[in-house]
Amino acid sequence: MSQFENVSVATKANVYFDGTCVSYSLTLPDGTKKSVGVIQPATLTFSTGAPEVMELVEGECAVTLPDETEPTTYRGGESFSVPGHSSFDIEVVQTLHYVCHYG
């Protein structure tokens, strides 16, 4: 998907890790919440509240999910799922454009 129709967008960005990750929160007409953003090359740890599916639009990263010891490489066009109330490590190799689906 390259575009969302008829969405509400929060005008204030979510800025994490001193600007390394910047995203915007979206609400779809049915109330579904998502975020779209960019992560610059870095090695970071993210925590989740709700379960998430990270859909990669462009870029490349290596992700170590909970209960895994080795990272898996993901590229634009791929996605990975993260359980709620957990955390994951991500090494962004090439600037990552993503959509995060919650719930």
Q: What's the structural domain count of the chain?
A: 1
| 43 is a domain residue | yes
DSSP, res 17 = G
Domain range for 23 is 8-102
Q: Torsion angle of alpha carbons 89, 91, 94, 97, nearest 10°? A: 10
Which two three-digit tokens encode residue 27? 């609400």
In tens digits, what is the pLDDT along the chain, a chain of 103 residues? 678 999 999 999 999 999 999 999 999 999 999 999 999 999 999 999 999 999 999 999 999 999 999 999 999 999 999 999 999 999 999 999 999 999 8
Enter the pTM of the model: 0.93
Q: Per the domain annotation, does 3 fall within a domain?
A: no
